[in-house]
Amino acid sequence: MTEHYDEAGRDAPEEPLVVRDLRRIDPETGKLRPAHEAPEPPVGSGGPASGPSLGESIVDESVTATTGVEEILTDLERQLSERTADLQRVQAEYANYRKRIERDRVAVVDSAKASVVSDLLPLLDDLERAGRHGDLTGAFKAVGDKLVSSLQRSGLEAFGTEGDPFDPSVHEAVQHNTSPEVAGPTVTVVMRAGYKFGERVLRPALVGVTDHEPGAAPVDAPVEGELPIDISAPIADENIK
């Protein structure tokens, strides 16, 4: 069998091969496109070279996505830093609040104790006077000692003894003398004891104060069996004529 070739068909120019993507789902956008829509032929298929259309961005989407992620991370780090600073500030404020509440609670308790003890100070004065006069004996003395011990364990402290330096913040001077035997203001008489509760002075001590007498020298005590010699008196000597 002999094959016959069409001379006219052999000499006719060949048409370029065009490949059209007729898929219903656009692989680039992922959207459904109409069946009649014929997309442009891809590059290298013989059609015109494809390029960005009017209004189309030429920025690589992967680069844009990476930049967006970095911005998001930076914003998250900033928010985390702010929230951490807020939390630290709240914790510090709460710690200060707890300390202030505890300090106020202790102050209220001490104030209540001091108020009760202040009402018992006249009773302590009576016990002290009874002890000086010898009337604090027997069961009465035992009760008084227990009361004083309980108050001292609670924080009550008596002060004001003879020989203490005079302190106007805790002593109330009601008597003043001068003497060359002291170097400065000194408590020489205690008329009523003072009391303090912790650092709080409940009642100052009533004392007599003796100050140094300027220009006077202390007088030496006479030796036993001898009379004091007055150096200011004239010396009598019968042999002096």
Indicate the DSSP class of residue 59: S
Please calculate the CA angle 35-19-9 and round it to the nearest 5 degrees. Answer: 120
By C-alpha distance, which of 145, 149, 147 is closest to 136?
145
Q: Which residues pair with 63 in a beta bridge?
A: none
Question: How many CB atoms within 10 Å of residue 70?
Answer: 10
Considering 3-7, 96-100, 232-236, the range whose residues carry the highest mean pLDDT is: 96-100
| This model's pTM is above 0.85 | no
Indicate the DSSP class of residue 214: T
Which pLDDT score is estimated for 138? 86
**Out of 15-29, 85-99, 149-163, 185-199, least confident range:** 15-29
| 144 pLDDT higher than 50 | yes
156 vs 120: CA distance, rounded Å:
11
More confident residue, 34 or 50: 34
Answer whether 160's CB lies under 8 Å from 171's CB: yes
Q: Which amino acid is at 213?
A: E
> 151: left (phi > 0), else alpha (psi -120 to 50), else beta?
alpha
By C-alpha distance, which of 51, 45, 52, 57 is closest to 16?
45
Which pLDDT score is estimated for 113? 87
Question: How many CB atoms within 10 Å of residue 105?
Answer: 10
Place of tokens 């006219």: 8
Question: How many CB atoms within 10 Å of residue 82?
Answer: 10
Which pLDDT score is estimated for 66? 64
Measured on CA atoms in the order 66, 67, 69, 73, is the torsion positive or negative?
A: positive
Considering 15-19, 42-46, 133-137, the range whose residues carry the highest mean pLDDT is: 133-137
Write out pLDDT tens, residues 167-223.
Answer: 999 999 998 888 888 888 999 999 999 999 988 899 999 999 999 887 655 545 555
Average pLDDT over residues 149-176: 90
103 vs 111: CA distance, rounded Å:
12
> Per-residue confidence at 238, pLDDT binned at 50, 70, 90?
very low
| 90 pLDDT higher than 70 | yes
Considering 132-141, 150-159, 223-232, the range whose residues carry the highest mean pLDDT is: 150-159
- 132's tokens: 């000086």
Average pLDDT of the chain is 75
| 6 pLDDT higher than 60 | no
